[in-house]
Amino acid sequence: MGLLRIMMPPKLQLLAVVAFAVAMLFLENQIQKLEESRSKLERAIARHEVREIEQRHTMDGPRQDATLDEEEDMVIIYNRVPKTASTSFTNIAYDLCAKNKYHVLHINTTKNNPVMSLQDQVRFVKNITAWKEMKPGFYHGHVSYLDFAKFGVKKKPIYINVIRDPIERLVSYYYFLRFGDDYRPGLRRRKQGDKKTFDECVAEGGSDCAPEKLWLQIPFFCGHSSECWNVGSRWAVDQAKYNLINAYFLVGVTEELEDFIMLLEAALPRFFRGATELYRTGKKSHLRKTTEKKLPTKQTIAKLQQSDIWKMENEFYEFALEQFQFIRAHAVREKDGDLYILAQNFFYEKIYPKSN
């Protein structure tokens, strides 16, 4: 092949290069069209599934408000942060939904944009609160926190989430964009073909590994205010902490995911009955693993830890971890290295007036 290229006239060589470039552009275009077609098909299938469920509920007879007790009227929102083991956890919800009789819905935003437009916020709040055919419901998606109280809603959904060590999350996301994972190994990723390691990226000051890319977990908890997405905002950190304490039922950490699932099963069995055992023994535990991931060196970690952005994200992570461990300490006991959920630890007495 090399001899043949040397013997070709320069003009033919140029034509061959141009033809190859055109062919590659054509292939890229075809791949893009296939991806768009796949996305449209997924949306069409989702709409069809929703119509089927609504029709099935209609055939079963209308559901009156009076028939929806507290548990049946429950909605959980898991506004999942990317690369925090969210797929592993969500798969448990999917595996349990038929057995525990609830619906699971993926919130698919355009280009995974975590900030909804004002009109979409209104639509989303109306869907969550009024869509009785989908109750009880478990909604999940890469969407930042939305305060339902702003929209005059009487019954708010239950928010849960999981966060991860900021640098570990960024490293995982960096390699995910280049090599994908074992969940959909054939899918072409945005940075596919870029073989640069995370260490090399940091050493060269690359944009994909810049400290600014760490700023994600704080705005996801902070919400839809403009200041939440102002990188390095102290107000955003404080607001994220406030929401974590006051608006979230439970926030776990990736490093202690099993304990998070155990606590959810104990507190919300309507949804999570059987979740702990499924996580321990099921085939889908830790299903999604980023491929070709190389751990960063101590020098790389130290360089990132010099930034104020890392300090803020790590402060928030440590705050969430402390809160989770506090909740766990008051909910479980340890015996022979295993954790056990505590039984009910309160009762009522001195009840007056006395009945005859």
Residue 244: the pLDDT is 98
Residue 314 lies in a domain: yes
Q: Does 286 qualify as catalytic in the annotation?
A: no
Q: Which of 3-12, 298-307, 327-336 has the highest mean pLDDT?
A: 298-307
CATH of residue 281: 3.40.50.300
pLDDT band at 57 (very low <50, low <70, confident <90, very high): low
For 139, residues 6+ apart whose C-beta sits below 8 A from its C-beta are 75, 76, 77, 78, 104, 105, 106, 107, 128, 157
Which phi-psi region, left, alpha or beta, contains residue 126 (left: φ > 0; alpha: ψ -120 to 50)?
A: alpha
CA–CA gap between residue 82 and residue 177 (Å, rounded): 12
Residue 51: the pLDDT is 61
Q: Which of 13-17, 163-167, 284-288, 330-334 has the highest mean pLDDT?
A: 163-167
Lowest mean per-residue pLDDT among 17-21, 82-86, 149-153, 212-216:
17-21
CA–CA gap between residue 139 and residue 123 (Å, rounded): 14
For 243, residues 6+ apart whose C-beta sits below 8 A from its C-beta are 145, 221, 222, 223
What's the average model confidence in pLDDT over 84-90?
92
Find the domain containing 76 and state its range: 65-341
Residue 161 lies in a domain: yes
Whole-number Cα distances in Å, 353 to 151, 297, 350, 356: 41, 69, 9, 9
Residue 6 lies in a domain: no
Residue 157 lies in a domain: yes
Of residues 336 and 270, more confidently modeled: 270
Closest CA to 316 of 230, 236, 261: 236
The pTM (predicted TM-score) of the whole model is 0.80
Which phi-psi region, left, alpha or beta, contains residue 248 (left: φ > 0; alpha: ψ -120 to 50)?
A: beta
Residue 242 lies in a domain: yes
In the DSSP assignment, the letter for residue 290 is B
Residue 78 lies in a domain: yes
Could you say which of 48, 106, 142, 224 is catalytic?
A: 142
Q: Does 140 qualify as catalytic in the annotation?
A: yes
Residue 354: the pLDDT is 84
Residue 128: the pLDDT is 94
DSSP string, 106-162: E---GGG-SS--HHHHHHHHHHHHH-GGG-SEEEE-S-----GGGGT-SSPPEEEEE
User: Whole-number mean pLDDT of the chain?
Assistant: 86
Residue 58 lies in a domain: no
Could you say which of 140, 224, 286, 330 is catalytic?
A: 140
> What tens digit of pLDDT does each residue of 109-155 get?
988 899 999 999 999 999 999 999 999 999 999 999 999 999 999 89
pLDDT band at 207 (very low <50, low <70, confident <90, very high): very high
Tally the domains of the chain: 1
Convert 88-127 to b/e letters by CB count within 10 Å (16 or more is b). Answer: bbbbbbebbbeebebbbbebeeeeeebbbeeeebeebbee
Q: What is the largest CA-CA distance in the chain?
A: 111
Residue 41 lies in a domain: no
pLDDT band at 186 (very low <50, low <70, confident <90, very high): very low
Beta-sheet strand order (sheet of 248-253): 103-106, 137-140, 75-78, 158-163, 248-253
Whether the pLDDT of residue 62 is over 60: the answer is no
